[in-house]
Structure 1
Amino acid sequence: MPASPALRLSVLDQSPVRPGATARQALQETTQLAQLADRLGYSRYWVSEHHNTPTLAGPAPEVLLAHLGAHTRRIRLGSGGVMLPHYSALKVAESFKLLEALHPGRIDLGLGRAPGADRLTAYALNPSNKFEEEAFAEQLIDLQAYLRDDRTPETIHERVQAIPKIDTQPALWLLSSSGQSGLFAARLGMAFSFAQFINPSGGPAAVRTYRQQFRPSPELAAPVANVALFVLCAETEEQAGALAKATYLQLLRFDQGVRGPYPSAAETAAYVFSPQEQARLAYHKGRVVSGTPAQLREHLPRIAAAYEVDELAIVTITADFKDRLRSYELLAEAFGLAPASPAVAAEVLTD
């Protein structure tokens, strides 16, 4: 029997470049996966921002979202997220107001303040960025003003307005792997997403603090939160374990500064973790959840309950794209997601 549909599932896609594939193929796969998520009943589809990372193909969420909006019909689309310190608040506001105008009621503007790259690349993107908390907070306030069409006297907003002029605005989310941005989200009345797939420690406490300190805003009357984590689902425990091992191997390589392709199935099967790596795996296992549909139907709601959220954003990366698609299909079946009507599904398939 499927689990209660009370737990909503979403997708966080980093547009990974599989071993032996190209960046163009990765972007085509992002489109296919977004269409699948749309048909299966996932709530949101977020795309990430990374730079100077050849194994990931998505440096510009706003461009990719415009494309995905034209190839999906009902799923919410958003950035997970735009790294705001790289850009001006006005430019981000206009890009996402334009997306909202094109796809009204479907756009989430997820924001982060991490580099999404190494510091040298971050400098190349914005030489004046010093990653100061105060500067980030000021950007957030400016961004809200531009999205609201504020005309506060004796400020820049009195004379500079973000276009296009529309009667709705994208939903604002702050993304964090430490909890600091949760405090900004609470004080400014924004939604909050905790990245357990980056940091497995302290997430429930960060979300709890966000709720306790939340101040309503014109856009959000009560706190809204979700959690992002690596999830790998397969028909058998053996298959799920193999997919999880590849993810662990890739995470260990990141620890070592290795930024090569995602491990192939053969490479993963042959690899033996050293005692030192086994110790580090204890940390990484908190970032990854794997298993059969029945196992995840039990485990994922427990994670959601620990955070007191009703939505999980699923990050799934595999060496074989078919395994990735199948993982999301199995999760949708296990959690009883509501698929699109046949007419909507047929319309999306013919795009």
Structure 2
Amino acid sequence: MKKIRLGILDQSIIARNSTPKEAILRTTELVKLADKLGYSRFWVSEHHNFQKIAGSTPEVLLAHLAGEAPNIRVGSGGIMLPNHSALKVAENFRMLETIFPGRIDLGVGRAPGGDRPTAALLNPSNTFSEQEFMQQLKDLRAFLTDHQTSESPHENIIAIPQAETVPELWILSSSGGSGYFAAHLGMALSFAHFINPNGGPEAVKEYRRHFRPSDLLAEPRVNVGIFGFCAEDEATVQRWLTEMDFRMLYIESGARGPYPDYEDIIQFEYSAPQQARIKYNRQRMIYGTPAQMKARIEALAADYDTDEIIISTFFDDFEATKKSVELVSNLF
């Protein structure tokens, strides 16, 4: 068994009866804890027009988090590149890398991070095409390294400031498509098992098979993102699982009303299609007591042949979230 490194993905969820400011304060406290416990990296996400998540601007939040936690790598999981100019993303992350050299990760994806109308407002020229995304990736790599090529011919344009080091560049994927982009361009791959629990190991194998070394990365590199929670007692695990079952259905339905209390959730009677969806969604999670969690993390790492797992814990109970982060850290 490889030595497994652990990271955290945090979306700055707004808990019941809480505020966006309190969500950001929770994220700040969590990165400090992760730093203290020795986690390898801490990523934050980009979401838009979703009122229960405060994380809309990773590039802004990361400057704060990196200053609060002096050792851990911090990064985006991810920047939704079609929402932005490749040049501006490069400048944002070169600035972060200049301030915090050797500690910045730039994870990019091609999902909108919200609905299509919102994405169209963020970038009115967005065509949602794979070809445009591929060109953005080529441009981004060129701007970050000052290596302009025929594929990214912007010889008179430099991303400022010119940092002495380069952020780690990751492509986020929940299917095989973006894995091919990562392989072709010689970038690291983060597979979002928490989005799509099917076909990930095969997609990663194809990424490794087609990988082409680049000036950014000599060999293929993979981590896997998963929803996860650990507690010392089964009752707390079951509560998290019950909440997650409902939360996933709630998000997928596009609901925008008040989020019900746990006492109301446990009274719900799910239809057969909802029960089937819950069964599917549980494949996107790992959970359990410490012994169960250790075995499940090791199994996931073995399935993907990776030594790094990124865990996202959606839970209103922040004390239980912090305890989970601590318990998982102790396992490895």
TM-score past 0.5 threshold: yes
Q: Does 1:235 align with 2:232?
A: yes
The aligned runs of 1:17-96 (5 Å cut-off) are 17-96=14-93
Aligned counterpart in structure 2 of residue 310 of structure 1, from 307, 310, 318: 307
Aligned counterpart in structure 2 of residue 332 of structure 1, from 309, 316, 329: 329
- Tell me, yes or no, if the aligned pair for 1:149 and 1:161 is still in contact at 8 Å: yes
In structure 2, relative to structure 1, the CA distance for the partners of 1:331 and 1:261 (3 Å cut) is farther
Query: What is the RMSD of the two structures over their aligned residues, measured on CA atoms?
Result: 1.6
- Tell me, yes or no, if the aligned pair for 1:16 and 1:55 is still in contact at 8 Å: yes
Question: Post-superposition shift, 1:155?
Answer: 6.6
Deviates more, 1:204-213 or 1:258-267: 258-267
Q: Does 1:216 align with 2:213?
A: yes
Q: Which amino acid aligns with 1:331?
A: V
In structure 2, relative to structure 1, the CA distance for the partners of 1:152 and 1:196 (3 Å cut) is closer
The aligned runs of 1:1-351 (5 Å cut-off) are 6-152=3-149, 156-260=153-257, 263-335=260-332
CA distance in 2 between counterparts of 1:264 and 1:322 reads 17
Question: Post-superposition shift, 1:150?
Answer: 2.3
CA distance in 2 between counterparts of 1:198 and 1:155 reads 31
Question: Post-superposition shift, 1:154?
Answer: 11
Q: Normalising by structure 1, report the TM-score.
A: 0.91
Question: Post-superposition shift, 1:274?
Answer: 3.1
Name the SS of the counterpart of 2:154 in structure 1.
helix
Deviations 1:302-325 (A, max 9, x none): 011000000000000112111111
Question: Post-superposition shift, 1:86?
Answer: 1.0
- Tell me, yes or no, if the aligned pair for 1:115 and 1:122 is still in contact at 8 Å: yes
Name the SS of the counterpart of 1:326 in structure 2.
helix
Deviates more, 1:169-178 or 1:317-326: 317-326
- Tell me, yes or no, if the aligned pair for 2:138 and 2:151 is still in contact at 8 Å: no
CA distance in 2 between counterparts of 1:201 and 1:261 reads 31
CA distance in 1 between counterparts of 2:328 and 2:145 reads 37
CA distance in 2 between counterparts of 1:186 and 1:156 reads 21
Q: Which amino acid aligns with 2:123?
A: N
Name the SS of the counterpart of 1:19 in structure 2.
coil
CA distance in 1 between counterparts of 2:260 and 2:106 reads 32
State the percentage of identical aligned residues: 51
- Tell me, yes or no, if the aligned pair for 1:13 and 1:47 is still in contact at 8 Å: yes
In structure 2, relative to structure 1, the CA distance for the partners of 1:187 and 1:263 (3 Å cut) is farther
In structure 2, relative to structure 1, the CA distance for the partners of 1:126 and 1:140 (3 Å cut) is same
Instruction: Indicate the structure whose relative CO is greater, using CA pairs within 8 Å and at least 6 residues apart.
Output: 1
CA distance in 2 between counterparts of 1:162 and 1:225 reads 27
- Tell me, yes or no, if the aligned pair for 2:49 and 2:118 is still in contact at 8 Å: yes
- Tell me, yes or no, if the aligned pair for 1:17 and 1:261 is still in contact at 8 Å: no
CA distance in 2 between counterparts of 1:21 and 1:261 reads 12
In structure 2, relative to structure 1, the CA distance for the partners of 1:5 and 1:74 (3 Å cut) is farther
In structure 2, relative to structure 1, the CA distance for the partners of 1:279 and 1:152 (3 Å cut) is closer
Deviates more, 1:113-122 or 1:231-240: 231-240
Q: Which amino acid aligns with 2:32?
A: Q
Q: Which amino acid aligns with 2:314?
A: I
Deviates more, 1:286-295 or 1:252-261: 252-261
In structure 2, relative to structure 1, the CA distance for the partners of 1:33 and 1:205 (3 Å cut) is same
Count how many residue pairs are aligned between Structure 1 and Structure 2.
332
Q: Which amino acid aligns with 2:210?
A: Q
In structure 2, relative to structure 1, the CA distance for the partners of 1:153 and 1:327 (3 Å cut) is closer
CA distance in 2 between counterparts of 1:200 and 1:316 reads 16
CA distance in 1 between counterparts of 2:136 and 2:30 reads 33
Name the SS of the counterpart of 1:286 in structure 2.
helix
Deviates more, 1:153-162 or 1:30-39: 153-162
In structure 2, relative to structure 1, the CA distance for the partners of 1:154 and 1:67 (3 Å cut) is closer
CA distance in 1 between counterparts of 2:331 and 2:210 reads 35
CA distance in 1 between counterparts of 2:53 and 2:115 reads 14
CA distance in 2 between counterparts of 1:39 and 1:5 reads 23
Equivalent position of 1:342 in the other structure: none
Question: Post-superposition shift, 1:146?
Answer: 0.6
CA distance in 2 between counterparts of 1:239 and 1:116 reads 30
- Tell me, yes or no, if the aligned pair for 2:171 and 2:189 is still in contact at 8 Å: yes
Deviations 1:242-266 (A, max 9, x none): 1011011111122322144555332
Deviations 1:280-309 (A, max 9, x none): 112101001110011111111001100000
